[in-house]
Structure 1
């Protein structure tokens, strides 16, 4: 794609990144068929190619409107287009730049700014979020299993008494401990059964994705740098890996290296954190999982989050692990398409989000599985709102 970005913008790292990404696009249109919003709306401007044109226009200094921002906001950032693109266009990185530029040219209405600010703060303040979860009867959340909790507490005490044991750092997440505590407890139990000790990050150490996708700006970078400083210290103490069991957090942390690549003080440290971060499925694949093998009669179905298969480029990894362990998995049509959760997308774009969820549930429930399993708390909560079939994190099966 030919570009004509202003020289002052091209003199900046952001402008150079945007220009490189724009020039890699060859207009082929392969991304259209992979785009969930284009599939529903049929509007070129609600496809990756259309949004790339809108961003290019904005970066080249052309006028933008509130409608431009609407088209960008309707993007799920599912990155399915990146998986499909034969030219390797880094669409999500361009979208981050585009949204920032367009918001500066066509500022959001005050009510939108307040909603986004309020949501950023609510989700990333544990004392506030946890209190709201307890008080909100409409929020579906689960309580920690007492037996599982007791096992983990005992295992953690044993871990503290054995500092020579292998250790990993588990990213607890900002909402998962309150909404579905069994996921982290199950993860810790599985790792302890493999002889691996677990250090867990505090709930206040949000990965930064919520802020990043809600116009967080400097707040995002502050949170990310704070995390890097804390986690680098653990790596220096001998932690062998940073483990994420929430694919949305995992893809964000793996992107720290790109996010801070031009920061002289943090570029190398951010790259180190990204390199040390593994999805729980990646980490377990390197372990002997014989003790978890079983024979099952009831079939389950796996919903692969976009942040796992497209963002982290780990398609089929969880499915292979579960099949190798003896689980029966049903086939899922159009498994590459988003379920509609996409972080806070379900809050700001409810109509599109619910349509995508209904489509996904139709595919998942076609063969009447006993359980739906997934790898991301956002997907889990979103899907469970639309079905009575239990939705769990796959690590809970182990």
Structure 2
């Protein structure tokens, strides 16, 4: 698909990148078959192909409106279309560029602006989020049932293993996960401890930057990206083997640090190194001798696995966790349409509640159809979203391998 860039963007790096991506799209429409929003709404402009056409119009300087912004907002950024696309269109990156350009040319309502700024002010900062979570839990008895269901359960911290091995890996603490479910990383530490690896947390690291990036605030995202690189770099220089990610949504973001900072004269090389070192915890476990792992007898063996979009489409790791779980002895129940999104998608469940809830209903129906004792997933957003309506417990899959866990 050819694009004639408008004067306002034709000489920019961003414009050239978008033009290159659009040129790879042959308009075949394969993406519409796996797009969750197109399946729900049935509007071509709520499909990847339609959104690419809208972004093309934006970059060519054609008239755009709130409706253009609405169609882009409705995208989950699940990237199922990238898995399906025979031409290899980098749709996720194109969408980020399109949203940012539209954000500067279309005014949002006052309430929408306040909500988005509020999300960027609270969610990336774990301490602020903990305070808001505590307040919501205190007042939950006064709230309607539908709102109570949306308040996540906060875990109590468990202690990390005390051992100190020569093999060391870094862990991303993150923002929301470190506040809601710190024991995901604790379980990871216990699992790696059995494999002779010490997991290290860098004190000044935090949010990966994805929240700001996908809310059209790239400058805010870069702040978090550089902060993480600075926090991790001394450990990398001392020989850390990998940067371990336990939230697949964060994993996609950190693996793209090299792309996002490729033109930065100070951070480009470091960002590329960090991106190369970044591994989802499933990639780490898959390379180790899992016969060394001891699984708690309290863990149910009949489970359903929900593979987050950021794991199977964003990081192209479809089937990795499933193979690990089967090797260890778990029985995975069949899940219909496993490629479809659960509707969490970062802040999507807040900003696009109606669509999000429809996707959640469909996903839970598929997951619970064969009556598993537990649902496992690989991303904190999916976990809390599924947990709000699931009839069985929902856990991060790595916690099932933790010998200290009594789920």
Shorter-chain TM band: over 0.9
Q: Work out the CA distance in 1 between the residues paired with 2:171 and 2:205.
A: 13
Alignment match, 1:112 = 112
CA distance 1:255–1:40, change in 2 (3 Å): same
Determine if the alignment matches structure 1 residue 65 to structure 2 residue 77.
no
Alignment match, 1:172 = 173
Q: Work out the CA distance in 2 between the residues paired with 1:94 and 1:128.
A: 31
Once the two structures are superposed, the pairs formed by residues 1-398 of structure 1 within 5 Å of their partners are: 1-6=1-6, 9-137=9-137, 138=148, 139-144=151-156, 149-150=158-159, 152=160, 155-156=161-162, 158-159=163-164, 165-202=166-203, 205-292=206-293, 298-398=301-401
Maintained 8 Å contact 2:205/2:228: no
5+ residue gaps, structure 1, are none
CA distance 1:286–1:129, change in 2 (3 Å): same
SS in 2 for 1:10: coil
TM-superposed deviation, 1:293: 6.3
SS in 1 for 2:382: helix
How many pairs does the alignment contain? 387
SS in 2 for 1:124: coil
CA distance 1:70–1:110, change in 2 (3 Å): same
Maintained 8 Å contact 2:172/2:245: yes
Q: Which moved more, 1:87-96 or 1:179-188?
A: 179-188
CA distance 1:354–1:203, change in 2 (3 Å): farther
Q: Work out the CA distance in 1 between the residues paired with 2:112 and 2:235.
A: 38
TM-superposed deviation, 1:203: 7.7
Maintained 8 Å contact 1:124/1:204: no
Maintained 8 Å contact 2:170/2:244: yes
Q: Work out the CA distance in 2 between the residues paired with 1:325 and 1:178.
A: 29
Please report the RMSD computed on the Cα atoms of aligned residues, expressed in angstroms: 1.6
Q: TM-score, normalised by structure 2?
A: 0.92
Q: Work out the CA distance in 1 between the residues paired with 2:232 and 2:69.
A: 35
TM-superposed deviation, 1:200: 1.4
SS in 1 for 2:168: strand
Maintained 8 Å contact 1:207/1:224: yes
SS in 2 for 1:392: strand
Q: Could you report, residue by residue, the CA deviation over 1:93-120 in whole angstroms, capped at 9, with x for unpaired residues?
A: 1101101111111122222121111111
Q: Work out the CA distance in 2 between the residues paired with 1:297 and 1:391.
A: 12
SS in 1 for 2:18: helix
CA distance 1:297–1:247, change in 2 (3 Å): closer
Q: Work out the CA distance in 1 between the residues paired with 2:269 and 2:60.
A: 32
Q: Work out the CA distance in 1 between the residues paired with 2:110 and 2:293.
A: 52
Q: TM-score, normalised by structure 1?
A: 0.94
Q: Which moved more, 1:203-212 or 1:55-64?
A: 203-212
SS in 1 for 2:307: coil
TM-superposed deviation, 1:286: 1.0
SS in 1 for 2:86: coil
TM-superposed deviation, 1:297: 7.2
Q: Which moved more, 1:218-227 or 1:248-257?
A: 218-227
Q: Could you report, residue by residue, the CA deviation over 1:170-215 in whole angstroms, capped at 9, with x for unpaired residues?
A: 1111011221122111111111121111111448611001111112
Q: Work out the CA distance in 2 between the residues paired with 1:236 and 1:332.
A: 43
CA distance 1:293–1:193, change in 2 (3 Å): closer
Maintained 8 Å contact 1:177/1:203: no
Q: Work out the CA distance in 2 between the residues paired with 1:14 and 1:210.
A: 20
Maintained 8 Å contact 2:204/2:227: no
SS in 1 for 2:331: coil
Maintained 8 Å contact 2:304/2:334: yes
